[in-house]
Amino acid sequence: MPKQTLNTNLQKLREQLADPGSLDDDTREQLAVVANTIEKILHEPSPDYQEAHASLQTAALSFEARHPAFARILSEVTDAVAKLGI
């Protein structure tokens, strides 16, 4: 189930990244880093879940005030990563 959550949220992020007018450059760059982190978790044989969790949690906090929808997605991703790392 956590990997399904990651896949679903990765798709949402990729859709936003594909929309040229929806994000400013800084936000687009930050979300691309998040998407790449999720990709690594899904495709590397032994991802560092703790490092990914910390990185995603930091990203979620930075988006909380500016982009609440992304913060919610990142919160779901962070929870899923924590479950995978248990």
pLDDT digits (tens, 9 = 90+) for 25-45: 888 888 898 899 999 889 999
List of long-range contacts for 68-75, beta carbons under 8 Å, 24+ apart:
70/13, 70/16, 70/27, 70/31, 73/9, 73/12, 73/13, 74/34
Structure-model confidence comparison of residues 86 and 85, the more confident one: 85
pLDDT digits (tens, 9 = 90+) for 41-57: 899 998 888 999 898 88
Ranges of each domain in the chain: 2-84
pLDDT at 60: 85
Question: Looking at the whole model, is its pTM more than 0.85?
Answer: no
Phi, psi of 54 (to 5 degrees): -60, -45
